[in-house]
Structure 1
Amino acid sequence: MTESRDLILDHASELYLEDGLDGFSMRKLARRVGVTAPALYRHFESRDALLMELIRESAQTMLAYLGRALAGTSPMDRLRRAGAAYLDFALDHPRYFLLYASLCERLDPETMEAEVGEGVESVARFWEDRVRECLQTGAFRPGTPDEIGLTLWTHAYGFVSLYLGGALGLSEDEVRGAYMASCIRILNGIAAPGALPHDTPAPGVPSGNPAADLLHETSTP
């Protein structure tokens, strides 16, 4: 088998998600790819360099999706679009979604190569900018960017992780409706009165999506 950079990264992402950082080795990866370990070093000088490339690819891909949200016409619209783009990224690139957070948690950003660190910082800055502009324009109730950002991120990341792990029992079409309905429910608790568009479904209001309607029904007192 002829090794290629993309093929190596594809197998590397699989191996990392199966064995974790401690179980990841170039020797194991070489066996998966079907080459000798030295052949891998023609593309990546070390295990850490390969893992850094996985982070860089994941960050760049995520940013390409998140960039779609900038077409929004208001801070809240851009935030909602960003939430939808985040789900699109996760569904289209589930390996990147899963390994990005894990690798960023395990590896110190200060020790990352400059280009990789910039990508990670750009992702974080994108979300911070969305939250800050909502706060600055009065779209959110009073709070700090860190507090609100943590609430939004843990909800979105947790929801998608549960789906990818098979815990929700929903089809992809159903999970899209359920995810957005759940995001709107979170925003209803954070947004200032009147900040959400009038066409935004509120808890208890049918949305036309069975999964979303089910979530509304189960959350309405």
Structure 2
Amino acid sequence: MPGTDQGTGTRERILRAAERLFVERGYHATALQEVADRVGITKPALYYHFDSKAAILGSLLDPVTDELEAVLAEAVAQRDSRGIAAVRATLITGWLDVFLRYRGTLATLFRDLATAPSGSYDRLLRTMEEGIGAGAGPGAGVAERIALAQAVSAITDPIALMPDLSDDVLREHLLTGAWRLLPDAAPSAEREPGPEPGPGPEPAPRTAPEGRTARGGRPRSLSRSDADLARALYASGAHTAGEIAARLGVSRATVYRVLKT
């Protein structure tokens, strides 16, 4: 791929235009010429960056899986010190942030699942299967594994099926549904009335996805000094990505992107 800023910018414009067209028309019904026209480049110029439509979809899908894997690793790392409830809380809240950030790609997959590039889609499936296993816990029975699978579905399907709803509205209601399936993972204030639960860690405070306010708007990015602080906190080993995100007022996805640079 081109190493210049201009080349990188064109590649990103192609990805964004393709994603919008895939959502509007469907992956299968979108032609590469339409993508080129939307970007304002020639079809040969598009081929310089992507050799096929499947390559474009794969490039949209791979960052989703990268971030899901990062959340999964963070969740699993908490199992010994904080217990399975913390694993579930981190997994569900963190994955929801990722799915909301990439809701256009998620909608495309939901609509044209059969046409997804097999390698990228298989990797996504493996990650989700690993997450369900980690959230269910060692030695989990069928009921626990199904409850985790239902919770994951509860935070994915409505995002694809209800494009008219804002991120904030979706996040609130999807988490409420997920906590009904996984009551032990819910913040104490959102648990169903019942016997007082024993002491235990609670997940990091929830923040609006990508640092958005209740009014929505563009995602908040980290300043250079905040980005340096995020890297230093993570390198110390004393803070999880979720804790850093809560401290800086951004989502886990934003922190993960900074840590990869």
TM-score w.r.t. length of structure 1: 0.67
Match of residue 201, structure 1, among 190, 209, 225: 190
Gap runs ≥5 in structure 1: 189-194, 206-221
Shift of the 6–112 alpha-carbon distance from structure 1 to 2, 3 Å rule, reads same
Indicate conservation of the 8 Å contact 1:65/1:85, yes or no. Answer: yes
Q: Which amino acid aligns with 1:37?
A: K
Partner of 1:218: none
Q: Which amino acid aligns with 1:106?
A: A
Gap runs ≥5 in structure 2: 1-5, 195-261
Q: How far off its partner does 1:196 sit?
A: 5.7
Work out the number of aligned pairs and report it: 186
Shift of the 131–61 alpha-carbon distance from structure 1 to 2, 3 Å rule, reads closer
Q: How far off its partner does 1:46 sit?
A: 1.6
Partner of 2:114: 106
Alignment partner of 1:182 is 2:177: yes
Shift of the 98–152 alpha-carbon distance from structure 1 to 2, 3 Å rule, reads same
Provide the rounded CA distance (Å) in 1 between the counterparts of 2:121 and 2:164: 28
Cα offsets for 1:19-46 (capped at 9, x unmatched): 1022111110010010111111111112
- State the Cα RMSD in Å: 3.3
TM-score w.r.t. length of structure 2: 0.58
Indicate conservation of the 8 Å contact 2:96/2:156, yes or no. Answer: no
Partner of 2:12: 6
Alignment partner of 1:64 is 2:70: yes
Partner of 1:192: none
Shift of the 64–6 alpha-carbon distance from structure 1 to 2, 3 Å rule, reads farther
Q: Which amino acid aligns with 1:187?
A: L
1:33-182 equivalences in 2 (<5 Å): 33-72=39-78, 73-103=82-112, 105-107=113-115, 112-113=118-119, 116=120, 119-133=123-137, 136=139, 143=143, 145=145, 147-161=146-160, 164-166=163-165, 172=168, 175-182=170-177
